[in-house]
A and B are shown apart, each in its own frame.
Chain A
Amino acid sequence: MPSKRFDQAKPFVVLGIVVLTWILLPVAVKSFLRAGFYELQAPIQVTASYARDLQEYWVERTHSNKELMEAGRELRHVYAGYEFQAQQVEALRAEIARLEQLLRLPSNPQYRFEPARVAQRDLSGWWQKLVIRKGANYGIPAGAPVVYSGGVVGRVSAVHAYTADVDLVTSPRVRLAATIENDTRPVSYQGGDNPPLILARGIVEFVPPDIFTSAKDPKRLVTSGLGGVFPPGLTIGYITRLEASTDGLFKSGEVALDPRLSELTEVTVLVPLNPE
């Protein structure tokens, strides 16, 4: 009988040993295991990403020469517009530098732009992250802001040898200091409102009570530049609904985000040139 009882309890004894061993395992060993297991499987993610690129390439090859020439012509128009805007940006940069020198103001943080392909999207109810195909091998630091053509993508949360994890703005782990366009008062944005099968939303808090908005007349939410992580003026989303918060001093509401966030294939990491 005691032998039978022990046989029944043996699995739980084993479980207890496993749990105890894990709790007592040094942090250094756990860190090593985490890095080791991640790098063992990283090639699979990256290979799958390259396979998708190859698939897209062969799909593009099926287009006729006429379609490709049309696409090239359209791109030339867009490129000409961007060239002019780039010249304007350079002129504005020079003007900013002149004013900073004149008024003895500190310079805004400068960045190196590191474009990266998205290797994997991992968007669940628990977390919202991307894996990009550049990591420590390109000098990407943890915490670096990540942007795309439509505005803010998120923040680099973990850097590995050849890949990096990016927490999306839809993730509850991402909280940003923001302002409403044409207003200088700071508000707080946090991700996490991710209903099933429809577009993800964000949450804005500490909005001044004299700000009004609606779905027909949304207000653009942009980064404020406070904290020095994100440059100011980048689009986060559009505030579509505001209501008085429980304390009555401010408003809180919903932020509609760009649907392209869940379909991104390429992003740009802003690597600070002068990290503090």
Chain B
Amino acid sequence: MHRRWLITFATTFLLWSVVVQLNHYLAPVGAYLFVGGLLVAFAALRLSLRNGLTATLLLGLCIDAAEPVPFGTHLLLFAVMHIIIYHLRTRLPREETVIGVVVALLANLALVSGLSFVTFGNHPAAGAAWLRIFADLGWSQLFIVAIAPWFFALQERALELGRVDLAEESHRPF
């Protein structure tokens, strides 16, 4: 049972670490990638509530520890997004990659908006800041479209290697 959320957490943590390194190299050109939606999408669409939410919450804590935001910001934002996707997933063909990509894109948009409202308290140049956020969101969405199919396949394969039956897992009641 522990394998399921542990494997999912490991794959999402790996993606986040890679994106952090990419952002290091993008810093001189004034661009930033945020892939929160992609980190949450697979766990919310394909895993049971307990395992998926555990992986999502752990990842939120890791990101909160590293970023200069009130501790718990990413945890709560990711948790809310995870629950919303989980609640709506029965109406979607969630095994389809295209659906996963669309869900990741919409979730990323919502998370960027939520994070911006939380962090833009007394920003001295809110106009320029929102422009920067929109530009970064554009790059991030393009990045998600490019790598989401590969990342979903990676997570599926990782769970298969961990001898997890994804079909059975996604239909577990809790």
Contact = CB atoms under 8 A, between A and B. Distances in A.
Interface in B114-137: 115-116, 119-120, 122-125, 128-136
Interface of B is mostly: helix
Interface residues of A, number: 51
A102 B132 CA distance: 53
Contact of B79 (A18, A121, A198): A18
B110 to A, nearest CB: 15
B27 A173 contact: no
Given A11-B49, A11-B83, A124 B32 contact: yes
B99 interface: no
Contacts, number: 138
B71 A34 contact: yes
A173 B68 contact: yes
9 contacts: A15-B80, A22-B72, A35-B65, A41-B17, A120-B20, A125-B116, A157-B68, A195-B131, A262-B28
B139 to A, nearest CB: 9
Contacts of A15: 79-80, 83
B167 interface: no
Contacts of B21: 48
A12 B83 contact: yes
A83 B47 CA distance: 65
Contacts of B24: 48, 120-122
Nearest to A131: B66
Interface string B44-61: 000001000100010001
B133 A125 contact: yes
A38 B17 CA distance: 13
Contacts of B20: 45, 120, 122
Specify which of A11, A157, A173 lies most central, judged by the most chain B CB atoms within 10 Å of its CB.
A11
Interface string B81-93: 0010011000000
Closest 7 A/B residue pairs (Cβ): A196-B135, A37-B65, A125-B132, A121-B27, A124-B32, A38-B65, A193-B125
Given A30-B72, A192-B123, A10 B129 contact: no
A176 B14 CA distance: 37
Given A34-B64, A196-B131, A262-B27, A14 B53 contact: yes
